[in-house]
Amino acid sequence: MTSTPTSSADNGAAAFVAEVRKAYAASGAAVQLGALVVDGVAHSDAPVQLPLSVLNRHGLVAGATGTGKTKTLQLIAEQLSAHGVPTFLTDVKGDLSGIALPGQPSDRVASRAADVGQQWAPAGCPTELLALGGLGTGVPVRATITSFGPSLLARVLDLSEVQSSSLALVFHWADKAGLPLLDLADLRAVISHLVSPEGKADLEGLGGLSKQTAGVLLRELLAFADGGADAFFGEPELDVHDLLRTVPADGSDDGERGVVSCLELPAVQGRPALFSTFLLWLLAELFEELPEVGDLDKPKLVFFFDEAHLLFTGASKDFVAQVAQTVRLVRSKGVGVVFVTQSPTDLPKEVLAQLGSRVQHALRAFTPDDAKALRATASTYPRSSHYDTETLLTSVGTGEAVVTVLSENGVPTPVAWTRLRAPQSLMGPAPEAEQQRIVAASPLQAEYGTPIDRDSAYERLTRKTTAPARPSAEREPAPSSSSSTPQRPSGRRTAEPEERSVVEQVLGSSAFRSFARSAASSLGREITRSLFGVRRR
């Protein structure tokens, strides 16, 4: 019998499979992305995986519309949850809520699982559904104007440099005067006061605020409120520690599962500057709130920043530099950030340079600009001995991606054409009734479900100038200042269970937490501000 000689191409492919298998091996826990593909064939014996220990080095998930980015987010988030790592997802299109429910078996899922060596079983994740200001089904998420700060607000309002500087002056004066800015009405009241005859003297030594600039600010704030933003600013303000929750795992082991916090955004798709800037506020809050932890075996939180290009459209160099600084510094707090966008070129080079792991779905090159972006993207990947990366980026199919990650030693892995695993949770939105059930059962709904209102800048300035009372639809009566504990406005909050002590009721309530977090302003001490002008704790 005559043996058939093995071709050099076969030897090269076998050597490359062995190289990838070794480069992507992990001694610790890892997210299983899929299997290596060589010449169109998936090699289940060469798994492509992302070590949890490098996830705080940040990452990128990119690709054209319809190439599978959303399913990749779902795949990564559900595995992180299984490893006890909480995640924060932004659901721009409204189809990620299915991560809370077990997936549906099908021939397609079974075929994909067999192809990549996956033991597929339907499984949902512990999930919180959130919504900006309650504009949607989820638990309402709010922030105070004081906490949000002048820089981010100027970014949302698309203010000029002069207008931004004037807005910063308004915040500085309110902080120094001990006037809490909780909602947009508070900020409008302060601006109006500072251009009034009574308020002009208050700015002596701080600079002036022209009536023309004040008029622009007031008009922008009014339009902003009319666009639905008024519901987002106020109290109770989200405590970012609520994003770091875990719950006991089902089964016999004693492990925990990370809670997936899913922020639905379909109701505010028309205000991309609002939700992209809100996500940046969350990052800044995480940096301010969390202690330094250095490198961990697994991150404390993985934060998925969807539609990331919206954050940088028209942004100034200073703003981009601040974003890059935030991304760099938040790593030491144990937070990993995954930017999600169509093309890596959507991100500034200062940010892109910090993203150690990349999952790149197919890119399209229909125009000269597309072709230029394709070449630029290919040039950022490690040189491959097996693939023409530029050609590969346009030829991977749906549910496949071009992957390179950092190994456990911090070394970039070889470029790997990867056939991705199938998510085990429901691939699509959860039914509306199921979403409502999840929200009703959430411990956060009792905490944040009903807005509250405290005595703040509007009330204090109103008492000074005896201005007409704010319309009742906008403000409820302020709580009495004679009470020894913070009181909730009538009709705005449900009663606490009687069996809880008064101390437990007060200390455990979101009203008290919001009060404590802005106590510096309430007591008349000037607030210090840090990244993006957000309030420093």
Nearest to 302 by CA among 129, 132, 142, 89: 89
Task: Report the 10 Å Cβ neighbour count for 496.
Answer: 16
Predicted structure pTM score: 0.85
Both tokens of 133, joined, read 């200001």
User: Residue 391's pLDDT band (boundaries 50, 70, 90)?
Assistant: very high
Identify residue 163 by its one-letter amino acid code: Q
Q: Please, where are the H alpha helices in 316-403?
A: 317-330, 349-352, 368-379, 389-395
Residue 45 burial by CB count (10 A; 0-12/13-18/19+): exposed, middle or buried? exposed
Q: Cα dist. 444→319, 448, 454, 532 in Å?
A: 32, 6, 20, 27
Residue 232 DSSP one-character state? T
pLDDT at 9: 60
Structure-block tokens of residue 220: 């922008």
Q: What pLDDT was estimated at residue 53? A: 95
Lay out the sheet containing 87-91: strands in order across. Answer: 41-51, 30-38, 416-420, 400-404, 357-360, 59-62, 335-341, 301-305, 87-91, 260-264, 127-132, 139-141
pLDDT tens profile 472-507? 444 444 333 333 323 323 333 333 333 444 444 444
Average pLDDT for the chain: 84
Pick the CATH number of 34-141+252-437 from 1.10.600.10, 3.40.47.10, 3.40.50.300, 3.30.1360.170: 3.40.50.300
Region 184-205: mean pLDDT is 87
Distance between CA 406 and CA 116 in Å, rounded?
Answer: 21
List Cβ neighbours of 460 (8 Å cut-off, separation of 6 or more).
179
Q: Angle at Cα 223 formed by Cα 222 and Cα 226, nearest 5°? A: 90
Please state which of the ranges 21-35, 36-50, 427-441, 458-472 shows the lowest mean pLDDT.
458-472
Q: How far is CA 232 from the centre of its chain?
A: 16
Residue 263's nearest CA partner among 102, 431, 439, 145 is 439
Q: What is the pLDDT of residue 477?
A: 43
Longest Cα pair distance anywhere in the chain, in angstroms?
A: 106
> Per-residue confidence at 120, pLDDT binned at 50, 70, 90?
very high
Cβ-in-10-Å burial (0-12, 13-18, 19+) of 40 comes to exposed
**Number of Cβ within a 10 Å radius of residue 150:** 26
Q: Which amino acid is at 68?
A: G
Closest among 358, 359, 364 to 395, alpha carbons compared: 364
What is the C-alpha separation between 416 and 24, in angstroms, rounded?
Answer: 10
DSSP code string of 264-316: E-GGGTT-HHHHHHHHHHHHHHHHHHSPP--S-SS-SEEEEETTTHHHHTT--
Q: How confident is the model at residue 309 (pLDDT cuts 50, 70, 90)?
A: confident
DSSP 425: B
Residue 8 — very low, low, confident or very high, per pLDDT cuts 50/70/90?
A: low
> CA–CA separation, 468 vs 462, rounded Å?
7
Cβ proximity of 25 and 409 under 8 Å = no
Q: Is the pLDDT of residue 513 over 90?
A: no
The stretch 300-317 carries a mean pLDDT of 86
Cα(462)–Cα(193) distance, integer angstroms: 10
Residue 251's pLDDT is 58
**Neighbouring residues of 523: CB distance < 8 A, sequence distance ≥ 6:** 178
Please compute the mean of the pLDDT values over residues 416-422 and round it to a whole number.
97
Q: Which two tokens stand for residue 118?
A: 């996956």
pLDDT in the model for residue 135: 84
Question: Average pLDDT in the 33-62 region?
Answer: 95
pLDDT at 412 (0 to 100): 94
Question: Per-residue pLDDT for 98 more than 60?
Answer: yes
pLDDT in tens, 317-349: 888 888 899 899 999 999 999 999 988 888 999
- Examine the pLDDT at 430 and tell me if it is beyond 80: yes
CATH 3.40.50.300 domain locations along the chain: 34-141+252-437
- Cα-atom radius of gyration of the chain, to the nearest Å? 26
pLDDT at 428: 92
Maximum average pLDDT range among 196-210, 302-316, 382-396: 382-396
State both tokens at 12.
């090269």
Tell me how crowded residue 74 is: count the other CB atoms within 10 A of its CB: 26
What does each C-alpha distance from 440 to 130, 143, 425, 452, 488 come to in angstroms? 12, 22, 21, 19, 22
Q: What is the mean pLDDT of residues 110-123?
A: 96
Instruction: Rank 251-265, 363-377, 414-428 by mean pLDDT and report only the highest.
Output: 414-428
